[in-house]
Amino acid sequence: MTIGSLPPRYRISIDPVRCMECERCIENCSYGVFRRDGDRILVNSRNCTACHRCIACCPRDAISLEEHPCDYRSHPLWTREAREAIYNQARTGKIILAGMGNALDYPVIFDRLVLDACQVTNPSLDPLREPIELRTHIGKKPTRLDLRRREGGDVELQTPLTPNLQVETPIMVGHMSYGAISLNAQVAMARAVTKAGTFMGTGEGGLHSALYPYQDHMIVQVASGRFGVNIDYLERGAAIEIKVGQGAKPGIGGHLPGEKVCADISRTRMIPPGSDAISPAPHHDIYSIEDLAQLVRALKEATEWKKPVFVKIAAVHNAAAIAAGIARSPADAVVIDGFRGGTGAAPRVFRDHVGIPIEAAVASVDKKLREQGIRNEISVIASGGIRGSADVAKAIALGADAVYIGTAALVAMGCRVCGNCYRGLCPWGIATQRPDLVQRLNPDAASEQVANLIHAWTLELAELLGAAGINSIESLRGNRDRLRGYMLDESLMQVLDVRQVGA
Amino acid sequence: MDRKRRTMDGSGIRQALSMMNERGSGEGAGYVAYGIYPDYRDCYALHVFFDNIRENKKVVDATLEQWGTIEHDEAIPTYDQPNLRAVHTPWRYFFKPDPSLALPGSATPEDEIVSALVMRVNAARCGALIVSSGKNLGVFKAGGWPEDVADFYRIEDYEGYTWLAHNRYPTNTPGWWGGAHPFNLLGWSVVHNGEITSYGTNRRYIESFGYTCTMFTDTEVVAYLIDLLMRRHGLDVDLAVRALAPPFWEEIDRMPEAEQEWNRALRLTYASAMMNGPFAIVAADADTMVGFTDRSKLRPMVVGECADRLYISSEEAAIRAMEPRVESITMPAAGEPVIGRVAP
């Protein structure tokens, strides 16, 4: 024996007094933790992912879960994760895969920014009595207008306007493809965004016909694999997004394993059943900024310049300059995906170590665009680690027009952030294609929950705006005076262009 | 404002402003008058506060000579007041910029130069602050009660056809003369009651057009926004006000299609110029006076008319103090601008 078995990550225990042997845990656990042995239910904790499915369905609260039941000798540098990664790689010689977002213990900048409210010198507004406008327009806006007066004084607009997406709340759902997540999950979110007057992304998985009724609220994605892309697909979407990169794995492509490519997915992605769907790292027709501008133009041309085109990039060191380049193309919005952005599967080394936080990326993008006088040329959508309405408000105050949520929408449907999405066994019916698991997710109930979440955040945003004496979201956008940094270092505050608390 | 350009001396507005001393704290007041320098009507009248005249004036003189010609300059006459501590020396220059120095293609080359000059001098913090820069007008302001400031400059000695005045209750920069209203850039001057909650957004927006905010207070941004929208972007005053205090989407959605289209365009284009928070603002240039409030009218605004005279004030009492025989008093609805124009 060289390495031997590692301490189990979780320990599941069943209280025999409480357990009534209903076997719901056995039925529900897709990872095979539970099995029946005579009149007992046995547990294999090593299979556990802490997805909580068993706990959620146990009628007697008989199951408990403990993380890291067995300690290593503690060491500040040689953490459990560092050691276990080495054991793993020593055994396999492979790249370690991981799901969900960045799992390293970086400080969360959002949690070190505080919002402002009015006292005395100006009144706070009560959203129940006063209108608070959250409507947002995503797309290019003119820098100035040519408005002429006809005889008689009527105003005539001479400046042509580029089509914008009108979003009733600055919260959109980001791109999670059919394949990465189940059709039921997509349908649930599509219904929710339609109800909330906002939009969601298809991801690079094509547009399943079950989503056609919601297509006016769908943003169709064109990524490096070009899966599911044809003119019908482009024309169905309310907008088109070119995905260049993703916050969870900047600089690399994607891979949907062949075993997930069932008949339905093969049809929507337009690839043979059972074949691996590999999205290359770069778009092989985009090797420079002018190539990107060409693709934007081609997509616009194909859809008769009626659809806004977004470009999504991972938040990397040079995000601001890249965004400025994108703003000079006919693109309408740039999506900046921060290093906490989630994913179905990413190499752990990328997920945890590549890219920068969304807060700093948005601040520097907004600053660069303003310096160059091209802020109106493009909308900025922030994504990657938006956990609540406060994060939305802070992202907007730092300069974003709107946000994409991803993980939060999945959590609203039951996801416990266990991070095993890449295994395709999601017991919540979200990140899986196994029919028995997918049918666990009821699209009616799930869509209600996602809609509730967006609605609740929208209400909270209105309250936050009202308290800040602001009755329209555009007056929060880039309004860094209404933020203060708490325990942030000076150089980071300079990047964010916020002052410290008390100043 | 007198729509026939008949002038009034400053004693009337001094009296009007003193009716509202409850709204001030004795730490800032100011006046602007239009039509006061007919002899130099073609020159930009630059009113400057010097911290230290011996040191700072040389710098400003040199800069002005570099950018054009000083036709005349002199100290602004002041008269000691027991309750007003003079911390600056007010000075005025009558200045003609050299239009050949403007960037080629500028529609208003002289204005461009003077505006750039004001931004440069004020941002340099060289002990000189240019507080007004228009033709045939001047801002007179200081830290003190309105009557003391008026007497300090003896504003009854000036004859103007449009006057704006302001009584300050400072919270941010008490006593700082630069923080007193009116704020002026070129032809436009602004007085403001309120607090702009969108200031951060507005400031970032206006600074991307080359303006620099230097007064530590929100109102200056209004002067620059008006300059941008009207002089540089060519909007008329109605449209500029509509961009700064636009209708709610709910109202826009109900408009007929053509009207909806340009209102939508205006809101989208000038989203970052829109002002939020409670305010009542009166702005004026040589031909216009405009009063408007925030979209919910969280600050008062009263309008009075009497023959050719138009009055806009926070309180009716102030109007009646200036014009006891006022013919009509109205209170405009939220966001509804009141625009007075002098006869051509």
**Last residue of one domain, picked from the residues A94, A111, A127:** A94
Rounded distance, CA A416 to CA B212, Å? 49
Q: How buried is B97 (Cβ within 10 angstroms: 0-12 exposed, 13-18 middle, 19+ buried)?
A: buried
Distance CA B283, CA B292 (A): 9
CB contact under 8 A, B198 and A137: no
pLDDT 10s digits, A331-377: 999 999 999 999 988 899 999 999 999 999 999 999 999 999 999 99
- Region B264-282: what's the mean pLDDT? 95
B271 chain-A contacts, CB cut-off 8 A: 141, 474, 477
> What is the predicted pLDDT for the residue at A255?
83
**β-pairing verdict for B137-142 and B29-34:** antiparallel
Which residue of A123, A145, A470 is in closest CB contact with B265? Answer: A145
Binned at pLDDT 50, 70 and 90, residue A174 comes out as: very high
Pair A366, A454 in one domain: yes
User: Above pLDDT 90, what percent of chain A?
Assistant: 90
CA A24/CA A13 separation, integer angstroms: 15
CATH code where residue A306 lies: 3.20.20.70
Last residue of one domain, picked from the residues A64, A94, A124:
A94
CB contact under 8 A, B265 and A154: no
In this prediction, residue A336 carries a pLDDT of 98
Tell me whether A126 touches chain B (CB under 8 Å).
no
pLDDT tops 80 at residue B172: no
Q: Give me the total of CB pairs closer than 8 Å, taking one residue from chain A and one from chain B.
A: 117
Give the ipTM of the model, two decimals please.
0.91
Nearest to B195 among A122, A142, A147 (CB): A122
* pLDDT tier at A236, thresholds 50, 70, 90: very high
Contacts of A185 (CB under 8 A, 6+ apart): A176, A410, A413, A429, A430, A431, A441, A446
Asked if residue A145 belongs to a domain, the reply is: no
What is the total residue count of chain B?
344
Q: Is a pLDDT exceeding 90 seen at residue B174?
A: no
Residues A84 and A211 in one domain: no
User: Between B234, B259, B276, which is nearest A470 by CB?
Assistant: B276
Tell me the percentage of chain B whose pLDDT exceeds 70: 100
- Verify that A82 and A167 share a domain, yes or no: no
Strand A218-222 and strand A239-243: the pairing is parallel
Nearest residue of chain A to residue B209 (CA atoms): A373
> What's the confidence (pLDDT) of residue A479?
96
Which structural domain range is residue B211 located in?
A: 8-341
* Residues contacting residue B54 through CB under 8 Å, at least 6 positions apart: none
User: Which residues, in sequence order, are CB contacts of A279 under 8 Å at separation 6+?
Assistant: A204, A223, A224, A225, A227, A253, A254, A255
pLDDT tens-digit readout, B103-148: 888 889 999 999 999 999 999 988 999 999 999 999 999 999 999 9
Inter-chain contact B203–A481, Cβ cutoff 8 Å? yes
Q: Is residue A132 part of a domain?
A: no
A217/chain B closest Cα distance in angstroms: 20
Helix, strand or coil for residue B218? coil
Q: Which of A147, A168, A374, A398 to mutate to test the interface with B (most CBs of B within 10 A)?
A: A147
Distance CA B148, CA B144 (A): 6
CA distance A257 to A262: 11
Per-residue confidence band for A123, with pLDDT thresholds at 50, 70 and 90:
confident
Best probe of the B interface among A161, A332, A475, A483, by most B CBs < 10 A, is A475
How many domains would you assign to chain A? 2
| pLDDT surpassing 80 at residue B74 | yes
Residues A283 and A394 occupy one common structural domain:
yes
3-class SS of residue B84: strand
Q: Nearest CA of chain A to the CA of B169: how many Å?
A: 10
Determine contact: A471 vs chain B, CB below 8 A: yes
**Same domain as A37, residue A183:** no
pLDDT(A127) > 90: yes
Whether the CB-CB separation of A167 and A186 falls below 8 Å is answered with no
**Domain containing B193 — which CATH number?**
3.60.20.10
In the chain, the amino acid numbered B190 is: V
Three-state SS for A147?
strand
By C-alpha distance, the chain B residue nearest A471 is B276
Mutation site for B-interface testing, chosen from A129, A135, A145, A367 by largest number of B Cβ within 10 Å: A145
Instruction: Please check whether residue A124 lies inside any domain of the structure.
Output: no
Of B233, B259, B272, the CB nearest to A478: B272
Select from A473, A502, A329, A462 the least CA-distant residue to A400.
A473
Give Cα separations from B312 to B138, B162, B233 (angstroms). Answer: 20, 11, 27
SS3 A295: helix
Per-residue confidence (pLDDT) for residue B214, from 0 to 100: 87
Of A94, A119, A144, which closes a domain? A94
Judge: B239–A147 Cβ closer than 8 Å, yes or no.
Answer: yes
For A23-64, the DSSP string reads -HHHHH-TT--EEEETTEEEE-GGG-----HHHHH-TT--EE
Which residues sit opposite A314 in a β-bridge? A337
In a domain, B2, yes or no: no
CA distances from A137 to A381, A393, B336 (A): 11, 16, 25
Question: Is residue A136 domain-resident?
Answer: no
Containing structural domain, residue A418: 160-500
Chain B residues lying within 8 Å of A476, measured CB to CB: 198, 201
Instruction: Give the pLDDT of residue A314.
Output: 97
Structural domain contains residue B3: no
Q: What is the CATH number of the domain that holds A83?
A: 3.30.70.20
Task: Determine how β-strand B188-194 pairs with β-strand B183-185.
Answer: antiparallel
Report yes or no on A430 lying in a domain. Answer: yes
- Banded pLDDT at A237 (limits 50, 70, 90): very high
A482 touches chain B (CB under 8 A): yes
Q: Do B198 and A475 touch (CB under 8 A)?
A: yes
Q: Is pLDDT at A260 greater than 90 in this prediction?
A: no
Interchain CB distance below 8 Å, B195 and A469: yes
> Any chain B CB within 8 A of the CB of A119?
no
Q: Please indicate, yes or no, whether residues A168 and A69 belong to a single structural domain of this protein.
A: no
Give mean pLDDT, residues A285-311. 96
Residues on chain B touching A474 (C-beta within 8 angstroms)? 201, 267, 271-272, 274
Average pLDDT, chain A: 95
The predicted model gives A139-164 an average pLDDT of 93
pLDDT confidence band for A161 (50 / 70 / 90):
very high
B28 inside domain = yes
| Sole residue written with tokens 């260049």 | A244
Chain A CB contacts of B234 under 8 Å are 144, 146
Residue with the bigger pLDDT between A53 and A121: it is A53
CB contact under 8 A, A475 and B276: yes
Q: Please indicate if any CB of chain B lies within 8 Å of the CB of A232.
A: no
Output the pLDDT for position B321: 94
Please count the structural domains in chain B: 1
> What's the rounded mean pLDDT across residues B216-237?
93
For residue B23, which residues of chain A lie inside 8 Å, CB to CB?
Answer: none
Which of A:155-214 have CB within 8 Å of B?
A: 155-157, 159, 161, 164
Residue A105 counted as domain residue:
no
